[in-house]
Structure 1
Amino acid sequence: MERVAFLIDATGERVDCLLNPETVQVTRLAGVRPRGSAGTQLTGTGLADDPLVFTGGGRTELVLDLLFDTDFAEGQVRPADVRALTRPLWMLAENSAVEHGWVRPPLVRLVWGKTWNVPGVIIAVAERFDAFTATGSPRRSWLRLKLVRVAEDTDRAREGFAEELAVAQTPAVAPGTAVVAAGDGTATTDSSGVRFDLLAHDALGSPLRWRLLAEHNRITDPLAVPAGTALAVPPQQGLGTGVAAGSGS
C-alpha cells in the first residue's frame, strides 16, 4: 500500500491515507455536449451521430480507494472508532467554503510521492466498515472518493505535466553510487516503513522503476528492507527515457 495525503488549502491541515490497491483511476471528459434546443435534443436525419456542441474546457476526475485502520493510526493515543480518521474527508465533501457569495467544497490537493500534486474538490465519498468491536465501533474503513480537478489554464496544466515528467525522469544520484533506505516512521510487524518507491525516484528518476532497483539488489520483498540499508544504483543503460520504463508487472 502507498501513503497519500490531502492538503486543505485554506487551513494547511493534512489528512494522511493509505492507497489500496496501488492504483488511481483517472478520467478525462472533454468539453463536448449534444446540441439541443429548448427542452429537447436535436438530431439530424441521415446523420450517423448526434450533432455536438464544443464548449471548451472539460473535466478531469480521479477515483481513489483508500484504507483506514485504527491500528495504523499515528500518535500515542489511537482512536477506538475509525470514523474519527475518515470524518475529515467526509467534511471535505460538504459545501463549507464560500467563493463569490456561493458555497462550495473546500479546495484540497492530492499529494502522492514526488510527482502527484493535484488541486481539486472532493465531490463523492462512499465508505464500508468492518473489524467491529463488541460495542459496535468499526476499526477499519474501506473508503472510495472522487476528486475533480479544479479549473486550470490549459498552458499551465501542460507546463505542470511537463514539470512532473521532468522531475520523474531525473535521478538524484549518479549510477554506480548508492542510496540509503530511510524509514518514514510507520514501521509495523509487516513493513519496515521504508518507501521503496521514493528510493527508486532518487536512484532511477521514477518511482515506477522500483522493481529495477529491487532486482539489481536481489531484493525479493521491498517492504522488508531495513532502514539504513545501502542499495546500489544500477546503470542507466536500457532504462529508456519514459516514465513508464520498468513499470511492467
Structure 2
Amino acid sequence: MERVAFLIDATGARVDCLLNPETVQVTRLAGVRRRTSTEGQLTGVGLADDPLVFTGGGRTELVLDLLFDVDFVESQVRPDDVRSLTRPLWMLAENSAVEHGWLRPPLVRLVWGKTWNVPGVIVAVAERFDAFTGTGSPRRSWLRLKLVRVAESADQAQAGFEEELTAAGTPTAAPGGAVVAAGDGAAAPGYSGVRFDLLAHDALGSPLRWRLLAEHNRITDPMSVPAGTALAVPPLTGAPATDPTTRAPAGGTAPDGLR
C-alpha cells in the first residue's frame, strides 16, 4: 500500500507517514475581500450584500487526519514513544528555510498514491496522545496537519487537476486479466491488510467500484482477502460510477487545534 509522504524540495528528503489518512479535507478560498475605506468597511443603503473587491489568487488548504501507533511500526526495534514518529512532521512546520533573507517553512510536496502530488507548506500541526505507558510515554497519536498549496498559475493548477482526474479514472489492468492483492505489514489484528479500494482503483479505475470487483470474484468480506490472492478483473459495462455505501468508518476523533 502506498502511504502518504512529504518530499522536501530543497533536499529531496522524504518524510513518511505511518498510515494513510482516514480523511482529507480540501478547502478553496477565492481572492475576494470586503471593500473598505480609511474610515472602515463600506456599506450601502438598500444593498443586500457588502461591496466586494476581487483581488485574484486565493488560498487552497488541505487538512489531513493521521494516525500513528508504535505497534504498527514495521521494525524489530519499536520506539517506546510515538513522538519519535511524529517529530519529523512537526519540524516541517518550523521556519527552517530561507527565501530572500526571510525565514520560512520548507517547501514540501504531498505525495500519495497515483493521484495526489501537491506542493505547499505546512502551516499548522495539532496532536492528541493516548495509550500512555506507566512512565508517561504516549504510544498512539491522532495528528491533524494543515498544508497550504504554494502559489501556482491558474493554468498549472488546472493542468494538475486534470492529471489527477486522468490518473484516477484510468484502470491499470485490462478486463479479463487479474490483479494481485498486496498485503500491508501494518495491518491491525484480524485484518489481512489488503486495501480493497486500492485494488478496485487498479482494476476498474475508481476505488468506489470495490463492490463490483468483490461481487465478480464472489467475495463477501473484502477485509478478509489473504495477501497474494489473484482477483479477476470484470468488464466495466454497467458499472456504477459511485457507491454511497463505501464510506469507511473514521479511526478516531482528531484534535481540535486546527479549526
TM-score (norm 1): 0.90
The residue matched to 1:60 in structure 2 has which SS?
strand
TM-fit CA distance, 1:229:
0.5
CA–CA distance in structure 1, aligned partners of residues 209 and 199 of structure 2: 9
CA–CA distance in structure 2, aligned partners of residues 117 and 247 of structure 1: 25
CA–CA distance in structure 1, aligned partners of residues 185 and 147 of structure 2: 28
TM-fit CA distance, 1:99:
1.3
Partner of 2:257: none
Maintained 8 Å contact 1:182/1:227? yes
Maintained 8 Å contact 1:2/1:20? no
The verdict on how the C-alpha distance between 1:219 and 1:112 changes in structure 2, with shifts beyond 3 A counting, is: farther
Deviations 1:28-54 (A, max 9, x none): 110000111236221122211111110
The verdict on how the C-alpha distance between 1:172 and 1:35 changes in structure 2, with shifts beyond 3 A counting, is: same
CA–CA distance in structure 2, aligned partners of residues 136 and 100 of structure 1: 43
CA–CA distance in structure 1, aligned partners of residues 47 and 41 of structure 2: 14
Aligned partner letter, 1:248: P
Maintained 8 Å contact 1:33/1:53? yes
The residue matched to 1:24 in structure 2 has which SS?
strand
Maintained 8 Å contact 1:28/1:60? yes
The residue matched to 1:89 in structure 2 has which SS?
helix
The correspondence of residues 76-95 of structure 1 with structure 2, limited to 5 A, is 76-95=76-95
Maintained 8 Å contact 2:176/2:233? yes
The correspondence of residues 135-174 of structure 1 with structure 2, limited to 5 A, is 135-174=135-174
Computed over aligned residues only, the root mean square deviation of the Cα atoms, in angstroms, reads 2.0
Q: Do residues 246 (structure 1) and 246 (structure 2) align?
A: no
The verdict on how the C-alpha distance between 1:168 and 1:140 changes in structure 2, with shifts beyond 3 A counting, is: same
Partner of 1:6: 6
Partner of 1:133: 133
Maintained 8 Å contact 1:31/1:55? yes
Ranges in structure 2 where 5+ consecutive residues have no aligned partner: 246-259
Ranges in structure 1 where 5+ consecutive residues have no aligned partner: none
CA–CA distance in structure 2, aligned partners of residues 113 and 247 of structure 1: 21
Aligned partner letter, 1:90: W
Partner of 1:73: 73
TM-fit CA distance, 1:20:
4.7
CA–CA distance in structure 2, aligned partners of residues 33 and 179 of structure 1: 50
- Percent identity among equivalent residues? 80
Deviations 1:215-241 (A, max 9, x none): 32232333322121010111111236x
The residue matched to 1:213 in structure 2 has which SS?
helix
Aligned partner letter, 2:74: E
CA–CA distance in structure 2, aligned partners of residues 190 and 99 of structure 1: 49
The residue matched to 1:198 in structure 2 has which SS?
helix
TM-fit CA distance, 1:123:
0.9
TM-fit CA distance, 1:2:
8.6
CA–CA distance in structure 1, aligned partners of residues 220 and 98 of structure 2: 51
CA–CA distance in structure 2, aligned partners of residues 214 and 72 of structure 1: 27
TM-score (norm 2): 0.87
Q: Which moved more, 1:118-127 or 1:199-208?
A: 199-208
Maintained 8 Å contact 1:5/1:110? yes
The residue matched to 1:155 in structure 2 has which SS?
helix
Aligned partner letter, 1:224: S
The correspondence of residues 23-62 of structure 1 with structure 2, limited to 5 A, is 23-38=23-38, 40-62=40-62
Q: Which moved more, 1:55-64 or 1:182-191?
A: 182-191
Partner of 1:228: 228
